[in-house]
C-alpha cells in the first residue's frame, strides 16, 4: 500500500489509476468467495463435536454428532448418504448399529478423489495414566474430531470453488473399538466401505487422523510410504513449498488405520497422522491439548493438494 500512497501524493493524476488497482484487488478477493482454508471455522467444528461429549457407537452423543455432520455437509451442497452396518463392541460383546457418512460433489465425474477420517471415539481410555479412568470413554478432540473438523472446512471451500475433479468425503464409524493387539476389531467402517465400493474407484485417497495435536509432527507413515510413495511425495512437496514444517519427510512407523482397507481394495491411499500424541486414548484428549494452527497447517496443505489433482484432469 505504501507505494500506492507515494504515487497519489507525488502525482495526483494517478489517483484514478490507483483506485482502479484497489478495485481490482477487491474484485479478486471477492471472487475467491472465501475459499481460503479458515482454521477458525475448522476449530469451531472440533469444539462442536466435543460439545456432544464422548461419541462411541451406541451413545446418544454418537447419534447427535451424526446428525450434526450430516447437516454440515448438506449446508455446503454435498449430497449425503448414510451407509449403515453392524459392529460388535468386543469388551461387552454388544452389537451396535454404526454409520459411515458419505458426502459427494459432482457425482457424475469419473475422475474422483476420496478424503476421509473417522468420527467415532474410543469407548475406553485404556492408555490413561490413572487406572480408575481406563473404563471411561474419551472425548476424542484429536483422535476423531480433528480430522473431521478439517474435512468439514475443506468441504465448504470446494463447494465455493470447483476443484475440477469429483470429491467424496467419508466419515468412517467404528474405527476405534478394538482391543490392543486385535487388529481385526479396528477400522470396521472403512472395511465395510471398501468392501462395498463400486467402480470406478477413487484415483487417490487421503486419511486424516490425530492431526490436531498442539505439538504436531507428521512423518511419512510406513503403510502409506510402501503402497503409495508418489502420492505421499505430492503432499509433502506441497507442504515444503508452503513452508509447513509440521510435515516431516522422513519415514515414520506403520500405523494400522482406516487407509489400510482402502489400500487392500486397490486404492492409492495415504494416512496423515501424528501418532506421537501424549494424550492418545486418555481422558486428556481434549481441545486444550489441540491447536488451531495445527488444523490450519494440515487443512491448507490438503486443500492445495485437492486443487492440484483437479489441474491434472
Instruction: Give the pLDDT confidence of 214-247 residue by residue, as tens digits.
Output: 999 999 999 999 999 999 999 999 999 999 999 9
**The pLDDT of residue 9 is above 90:** no
DSSP-H helix ranges across the chain: 2-10, 15-32, 39-51, 60-75, 147-160, 188-195, 222-227, 229-241, 259-264, 292-312
- The pLDDT assigned to 21 comes to 33
Contact 312, 46 (CB under 8 A): no
Distances in Å between the Cα of 268 and the Cα atoms of 224, 248, 265 are: 9, 20, 9
CA 308, 148, 223: angle at the middle one, nearest 5?
65
- The pLDDT assigned to 30 comes to 30
Contact 214, 289 (CB under 8 A): yes
- The pLDDT assigned to 124 comes to 96
Q: For strand 94-105 and strand 166-172, is the pairing parallel, antiparallel, or unpaired?
A: antiparallel
Distance CA 234, CA 237 (A): 5
Distance CA 310, CA 165 (A): 5
- The pLDDT assigned to 199 comes to 85
Residue from 33, 243, 280 nearest 143 by CA: 280
pLDDT digits (tens, 9 = 90+) for 191-207: 999 999 988 899 999 99
Cell readout for 68 is: 450434526
Whether omega before 105 lies within 30 degrees of 0, making that bond cis, reads no
pLDDT class for 35, splitting at 50, 70, 90? confident
- The pLDDT assigned to 34 comes to 52
pLDDT digits (tens, 9 = 90+) for 274-298: 999 999 999 999 999 999 999 999 9
- The pLDDT assigned to 81 comes to 97
Q: How confident is the model over 62-70, as a mean pLDDT?
A: 98
**The pLDDT of residue 134 is above 60:** yes
DSSP-assigned states of every residue in 23-88:
HHHHHHHHHHTT-S--HHHHHHHHHHHHHT----TTSHHHHHHHHHHHHHHHHTT-EEEEEEEEEE
pLDDT class for 83, splitting at 50, 70, 90? very high
- The C-alpha R_g of the chain, in whole angstroms, comes to 21
- Of 21 and 120, the one with more pLDDT: 120
The helix/strand/coil state of 181 is coil
> How many distinct helices (H) and strands (E) make up the chain?
10, 8
| CATH 3.40.630.10 domain residues, the chain | 38-312
Distance CA 162, CA 8 (A): 38
The CATH fold assigned to 38-312 is Aminopeptidase (3.40.630)
Amino acid at each position: 500500500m505504501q507505494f500506492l500512497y507515494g504515487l497519489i501524493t507525488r502525482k495526483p493524476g494517478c489517483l484514478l489509476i490507483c483506485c482502479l488497482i484497489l478495485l481490482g484487488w477487491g474484485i479478486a478477493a471477492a471472487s475467491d468467495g472465501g475459499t481460503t482454508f479458515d482454521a477458525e471455522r475448522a476449530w469451531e467444528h472440533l469444539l462442536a463435536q466435543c460439545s456432544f461429549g464422548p461419541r462411541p457407537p451406541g451413545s446418544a452423543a454418537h447419534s447427535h454428532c451424526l446428525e450434526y455432520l450430516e447437516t454440515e455437509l448438506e449446508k455446503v451442497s454435498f449430497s449425503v448418504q448414510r451407509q449403515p452396518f453392524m459392529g460388535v463392541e468386543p469388551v461387552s460383546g454388544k452389537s451396535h448399529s454404526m454409520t459411515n457418512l458419505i458426502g459427494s460433489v459432482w457425482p457424475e465425474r469419473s475422475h474422483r478423489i476420496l478424503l476421509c477420517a473417522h468420527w467415532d471415539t474410543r469407548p475406553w481410555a485404556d492408555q490413561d495414566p490413572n487406572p480408575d479412568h481406563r473404563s471411561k470413554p474419551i472425548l476424542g478432540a484429536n483422535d476423531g474430531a480433528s480430522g473431521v473438523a478439517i474435512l468439514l472446512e475443506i468441504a465448504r471451500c470446494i463447494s465455493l470453488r470447483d476443484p475440477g475433479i469429483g470429491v467424496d468425503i467419508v466419515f468412517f464409524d467404528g474405527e476405534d473399538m478394538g482391543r490392543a493387539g486385535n487388529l481385526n476389531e479396528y477400522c470396521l467402517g472403512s472395511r465395510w466401505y471398501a468392501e462395498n465400493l463400486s467402480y470406478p474407484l477413487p484415483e487417490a485417497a487421503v486419511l486424516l487422523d490425530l492431526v490436531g495435536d498442539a505439538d504436531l509432527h507428521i512423518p511419512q507413515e510406513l503403510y502409506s510410504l510402501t503402497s503409495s510413495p508418489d502420492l505421499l511425495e505430492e503432499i509433502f512437496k506441497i507442504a515444503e513449498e508452503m513452508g509447513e514444517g509440521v510435515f516431516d519427510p522422513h519415514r515414520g512407523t506403520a500405523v494400522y488405520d482406516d487407509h489400510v482397507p482402502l489400500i487392500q481394495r486397490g486404492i492409492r491411499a495415504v494416512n496423515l497422522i501424528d501418532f506421537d500424541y501424549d494424550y492418545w486414548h486418555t481422558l486428556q484428549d481434549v481441545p486444550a491439548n489441540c491447536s488451531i494452527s495445527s488444523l490450519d497447517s494440515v487443512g491448507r496443505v490438503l486443500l492445495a493438494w485437492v486443487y492440484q489433482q483437479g489441474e491434472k484432469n
